[in-house]
Amino acid sequence: MQFGEKKVIDGLSFDVARGETFGFLGSNGSGKTTTIRALLGIYRPTSGTLNINGQVFGDGFGARLGYLPEERGLYKKESVLDVMSYFGRLKGLSRNEAQKFSREYLDRVDLADKAGQRVDKLSGGEQQKIQLGVTIMNEPELLILDEPTKGFDPVNRRLLMDIIEDSKRAGATVMMVTHQMEEVERLCDRIILLKDGKSEAYGTIDEVQNQFGGRTIKLKYSGRVPDSPHYQVTLRETNYAELALDESVDEAQVLHDLVTSGVVVRGFVASKRSLDDIFIQVYGENAAAPLALGVK
């Protein structure tokens, strides 16, 4: 994918398996949104194809697709119920079906009392909920969600994640673009890390963690965590720290070092490197029926 002389996506190829949740990850400017827009025909790609169940994606598939763009697209001077009903009709629902879904959805996301309000009178988070409702109201077989929890507080983020999980249980294939590594670890079956338009890592979370190696100690403590040749302190807070270990370092040695230095250990959990750590390594400290999907 090129814009003039600038190559934005270079040799990218990946598959999204039928019925899985796939994490499409990368820092700002890595090419995530450009890739999705090229796949869906919003941009005209210079090469490559998107195959759905072995067939090249085309306009006729649109009714089976739910796409939540990063930039939201609601008619803000109309009422919430009218906007949702309008999009429902575009997706093939009858007026009664669209209104029934809309009212039930608004009740679930605590916006039932806002059905008659203009969209532009809602907060950003409330508009985000409306946008998600529009995205899933036709029970799409493929959901592509670009930063779905952007602007959400933890309570509403959890609600949105529950709705996405419900869609998956109903048979949807889900592709998520997100910076939230906790959500990725909780929801995604496989992931790809995109950097400068190329794949930096690709596979299950375990496979990606194994690719980058190392382990992390999550430590709850009192006292002062000393420096040591056996670990690197990657996060240090008043009573909590994370220590990065090489594969050759024995966890028992680390625990011994801590105790003999006077640290009171209240919790000591060893695990593979977190996706947060891997993300920082790749992008730097300042980085910000169900379907099968194939990209070549």
Helices 95-108 and 80-90 cross at an angle (nearest 10°) of 130
Task: Provide the pLDDT for residue 4.
Answer: 61
Topology of domain 214-272, per CATH? Alpha-Beta Plaits (3.30.70)
Residue 87, both tokens: 């999009």
Task: Provide the pLDDT for residue 95.
Answer: 93
Beta strands in 49-148 (DSSP E): 50-52, 55-56, 65-68, 142-146
Task: Provide the pLDDT for residue 241.
Answer: 92
Task: Provide the pLDDT for residue 3.
Answer: 65
Hey, which residues does 68 pair with through a beta bridge? 145
Helices 205-212 and 275-283 cross at an angle (nearest 10°) of 50
Q: Return the CATH number of 2-208+281-295, one of 3.40.50.300, 1.10.230.10, 3.40.630.40, 3.50.50.60.
A: 3.40.50.300
Residue 3: CA atoms inside 13 Å, Cβ hemisphere, count?
Answer: 8
* CA-to-CA separations, 145 to 14, 31, 36, 76, in angstroms, rounded: 17, 15, 10, 21
Task: Provide the pLDDT for residue 262.
Answer: 94
Task: Provide the pLDDT for residue 295.
Answer: 53
Own/partner pairs, 230-235, CB within 8 angstroms, 24+ separation: 230/254, 230/257, 234/277
Determine the number of helices (DSSP H) and then strands (DSSP E) in the chain.
9, 16
Question: Among 296, 265, 294, 246, which Cα is nearest to 55's?
Answer: 294
Task: Provide the pLDDT for residue 5.
Answer: 67
Residue 221: CA atoms inside 13 Å, Cβ hemisphere, count?
Answer: 25
- Successive 10-residue mean pLDDT values, the chain, 296 residues: 67 84 84 78 73 70 78 85 93 92 94 93 88 89 84 80 84 85 85 86 89 87 90 89 85 92 94 82 62 49
Q: Where are the domains of the chain?
A: 2-208+281-295, 214-272
